[in-house]
Amino acid sequence: MKESASTGVSWGTLFQGVTPDDSFSIGDCIIVMILNGVVYFVAAVYIGIVWPGEFGIARPWYFLIMVSRVKSILAHAWTALA
């Protein structure tokens, strides 16, 4: 839409809508794409740990909330603070 108005997108107009009534901008699209990338990365790492393929040891699907794991994370954080 910016190109049809011959204005283009620059750093100054990245978060401006096409029309005064429009609040959605190219900057919003970029933020959503970055957030999607983070979500897909976390999902890929999780799936790679739960279903490691031919080689590796599969963890249970609930490994993030296992009591032993939470205790080790808290113990490590506690020693880092001390």
Q: How many domains does the chain have?
A: 1
Mean pLDDT over residues 44-53, rounded?
89
In a domain, 4, yes or no: no
Q: Where in the sequence is the domain holding 31, given as residue range(s)?
A: 11-81
CA gap 17, 67 in Å, rounded: 48
In a domain, 15, yes or no: yes
Tell me what the pLDDT averaged over the chain comes to: 84
Does residue 10 surpass a pLDDT of 60?
yes
In a domain, 45, yes or no: yes
pLDDT reported for residue 78: 80
| DSSP track, 2-49 | TTTTT----GGGTT--SSTT----HHHHHHHHHHHHHHHHHHHHHHHH
In a domain, 1, yes or no: no
> Does pTM surpass 0.85?
no
In a domain, 18, yes or no: yes
CA gap 38, 10 in Å, rounded: 25
In a domain, 5, yes or no: no
In a domain, 2, yes or no: no
